[in-house]
């Protein structure tokens, strides 16, 4: 499946801040991706800017669309989330992106490797699924506070 990027302009309103948290989903399961889209879409200050189901599509999306956070599965249809994570942490002109690993493979080895490669969060799909929305909401609120103090 090709990468899907949401490039529509979102007009600011009193209820929609000018600078919302932009999230890219990297998940190969259509069911889990749709569930993530539903839960994240309920958050007031977060926009999903695209999604990908392979490592190559994720890297392509990251070149094409600005995002502030990536929700990253490790086992993808083609490629591995570790490759995406390593690319995100390679020095570049791109601002640092928060990486939330959400995987069914939540072994100590995968957690350690993810954190070593630079993941900010590591969640087990079976136990920690709801934490993704909580963290995204916290990130969005932190951005709003920072914007208000500047």
- The answer to whether residue 33 sits within a structural domain is yes
- The answer to whether residue 131 sits within a structural domain is yes
- The answer to whether residue 11 sits within a structural domain is no
**Separation of alpha carbons 103 and 146, rounded Å:** 30
Chain center to CA of 127 = 18
- The answer to whether residue 51 sits within a structural domain is yes
Q: Considering its fold, how many domains does the chain have in total?
A: 1
Would you state the pLDDT for residue 13?
42
CATH code for position 68: 3.40.50.2300
Would you state the pLDDT for residue 92?
85
Predicted TM-score of the model (pTM): 0.86
- The answer to whether residue 8 sits within a structural domain is no
Backbone angles phi, psi at 50, to 5 degrees: 165, 175
- The answer to whether residue 4 sits within a structural domain is no
Would you state the pLDDT for residue 148?
53
Would you state the pLDDT for residue 131?
97
Structure tokens at 40: 């994240």
Domain assignment of residue 44, given as a range:
17-148
Which of 140, 150, 149 minimizes the C-alpha distance to 19? 140
- The answer to whether residue 1 sits within a structural domain is no
Tens digits of pLDDT across the chain (150 residues): 445 555 443 344 444 445 799 999 999 999 999 999 999 999 989 999 999 999 999 999 999 999 999 999 999 999 999 999 999 999 888 899 999 999 999 999 999 999 999 999 999 999 999 999 999 999 998 876 665 544
> Locate tokens 């954190």: which residue?
115
Q: Which residues pair with 98 in a beta bridge?
A: 69
Would you state the pLDDT for residue 143?
74
């Amino acid at each position: 499946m090709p990468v899907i990027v949401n490039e529509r302009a979102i007009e600011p309103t009193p209820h929609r801040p000018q600078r919302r948290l932009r999230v890219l989903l990297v998940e190969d399961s259509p069911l889990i991706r749709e569930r993530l889209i539903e839960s994240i879409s309920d958050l007031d200050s977060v926009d999903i800017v695209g999604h990908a189901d392979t490592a190559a599509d994720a890297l392509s999306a990251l070149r094409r669309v600005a995002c502030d956070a990536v929700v990253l599965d490790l086992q993808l249809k083609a490629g591995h989330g570790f490759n995406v994570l390593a690319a995100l942490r390679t020095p570049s002109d791109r601002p640092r992106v928060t990486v939330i690993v959400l995987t069914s493979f939540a072994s100590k080895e995968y957690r350690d490797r993810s954190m070593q490669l630079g993941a900010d969060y590591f969640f087990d799909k079976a136990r920690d699924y709801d934490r993704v929305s909580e963290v995204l909401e916290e990130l969005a609120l932190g951005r709003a506070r920072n914007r208000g103090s500047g």
